[in-house]
Amino acid sequence: MSSHQTTDVDIPEAGDRAGIGEAVGDYFTRVKGGDVGSLPAVLGLVVLFAIFSIMRPETFFSIFNFANLLNQSAAIIVLAMGLVFVLLLGEIDLSAGFTAGTSAAVLAVALASWGFPWPLALLAGLLTGTVIGLFIGTLVARLGIPSFVVTLAMFLALQGVMLLIIGEGGTIRLRSDFLVAIMNQNMPLWAGWVLWALIVVGYAWTAWRAISGRRKAGLKATATSVWAAKTVVLAVIFGVVVFLLNQERQIMRPGKEACPVDGEAPLGCIPVIQGVPWVVLVILVLVVGLTFVLGRTPFGRHVYAVGGNAEASRRAGINVKMIKVYCFMIGSTLAAVAGVLLASRDNSVSPTTGGAQTLLFAVGAAVIGGTSLFGGKGRVMDAVIGGLVIAVIANGLPLITQQSGIQFVVTGFVLLIAASVDAISRMRAAAG
């Protein structure tokens, strides 16, 4: 029977018979063809984690530091998510770090000086990021100014805006217990397990619907055994994470007792620190929502098309200019979210919020995770994986050496490797 005579039932049955073996073979075929995806970042994350755990098992390989890694990487991950949209177009946003800082400054001023309730202050901060993105996108898409030039100018200008809002050397306290709790408080233990169940069931249901839809359409679908294996692996990984985070992370000193969860705490008691940080929920909501936008909507398909070939997309009827404007708006809005997380973690906003290495780490996270600098290839999940790699490096190196020079060299070397892998994979894909 020729391939054109295959029936609707034959295709999924063949996939089921081949099962996991065929899926693994297909994956390695794609890797050999240059489609490495996030594989280098995942391998790098495993290797770095193993090295630091062996060298500093008493400090790096601890439950407290595990939770600290999540908080340490959260803002970088969200900032990198926004940069993924920009990088998919083959553009760059050098102002993302100070967009985060400026948005956080507006949020803090709205709370402290204008007397806004936190929902309105949060909305003002997010809208600040959206307006900045609209301005940048308009200059890039409508006037044709290179994004490097526009965002470099905004990089400088937004530093001045922050100084005008906050004042040189000033600091504004974040006056909202709710916003501070995002980065500094944890879920109840039961809520962590509910979140785990929602993740596993949600993934299993969504993946199964996709498989069923392809089978009904007579298309080749993922085998049931592969679907089951992925679901089990996801359940185990997230189950271990929730279990570890639900453990007590505070070290009890002799003669001290833990503070009760409810009721009045006795003087001198040590607060109990356990549970999944609330910021994990924020990250998960963004990952699911943005992944849906890029993978399941016409807008997402247009973003990939414009990044792959803008001229061909224009001739196909896609409004290339509006796609660029929207992507810069999304990137800057997510930068504003990152600014909220930075302010929440520090409980304040200063002229250095979003500065220093924030932008470099975010760009590095997106690229290390697998997003191409040349456009057309990348996922929101790349930002999460790359952000964890950056966090592991930033967290583990100071435990080994206090020389900042070595830390910068290692971080830059990792980024250079990621960019090289991206370039090599593109060449192999073109050759194939």
DSSP string, 269-322: PBPP--S-BHHHHHHHHHHHHHHHHHHHSHHHHHHHHHHH-HHHHHHTT--HHH
Do 43 and 420 contact (CB within 8 A), yes or no?
no
Residues sharing a CB contact under 8 Å with residue 354, sequence separation 6 or more, in sequence order = 97, 98, 99, 100, 101, 102, 104, 335, 338, 339, 342
Res 35: pLDDT: 66
3-class SS of residue 267: coil
Distance CA 255, CA 251 (A): 12
Note the pLDDT tens digit of each residue in 363-372.
888 888 888 8
Q: Give the tens place of pLDDT for each residue, 105-117.
A: 999 999 988 889 9
The low-confidence residues of the chain, meaning pLDDT below 50, are 1-17
Write down the pLDDT at residue 282. Answer: 93
Looking at residue 357, what is its pLDDT? 82
Q: Report which of 377, 182, 214, 189 is spatially closest to residue 286, judged by C-alpha positions.
A: 182
pLDDT of residue 137: 95
Beta bridge partners of 206: none
Q: Which residues of 164-201 are buried (b: 16+ CB within 10 A; e: fewer)?
A: ebbeeeeebebbbeebbebbbebbeeeebbebbeebbe
Q: Output the pLDDT for position 414.
A: 76
CB 256 within 8 A of CB 270: yes
CA atoms within 13 A on the CB side of 96: 39
Q: Residues 226-251: pLDDT tens digits? A: 888 889 999 999 999 999 888 887 66
Q: How far is CA 221 from the centre of its chain?
A: 28
At residue 56, the 3 state secondary structure works out as coil
Q: What is the pLDDT of residue 15?
A: 41
pTM of this prediction exceeds 0.75? yes
Nearest to 280 by CA among 183, 166, 160: 183
82-96 tens-digit pLDDT: 999 999 999 999 999
